[in-house]
Amino acid sequence: MGHHRTSAILTTRESQVAERIAWGASQKEVADDLGISRYTVDNILRKVYDKLHISKINELSAWWFCTTFGISFELSPLKRTIGALFLACLFICGEMMNEHHFCRYRTGRVRIERTIKIKD
């Protein structure tokens, strides 16, 4: 992670896209949520990747969580492990306490359940 730019400044829209992607939303979900096209999300994501000198979603997630929660990129292995455990606990608690998925942005999804009637 030493190559990432921790001091990169993102625009408001770049931050909105980065946050949603970091939490696990798909580009289509981000587009629907923000009322923009998927093509626009893709372009914004490319700009974010360029600014941060990254190329993968997991790197974006790591950058977002570290900068949002004030976790240094230069931590010792012990401190990194403690930080990872803290984030895992945060995630698990969120999943258990929330009836909606904590890590995924889901907007407007409805499950359709099919029932099969069996004739006696």
Q: Say if pTM beats, i.e. exceeds, 0.85.
A: no
pLDDT at 119: 58
Q: How many CA atoms lie within 13 A of 108 on its CB side?
A: 8
pLDDT at 33: 96
What single-letter DSSP state applies at residue 102?
A: S
* Segment-wise mean pLDDT, segments of 10 residues, the chain, 120 residues: 63 96 94 97 97 91 86 68 74 66 49 51
Structural domains present in the chain = 12-97 (1.10.10.10)
Distance CA 7, CA 39 (A): 27
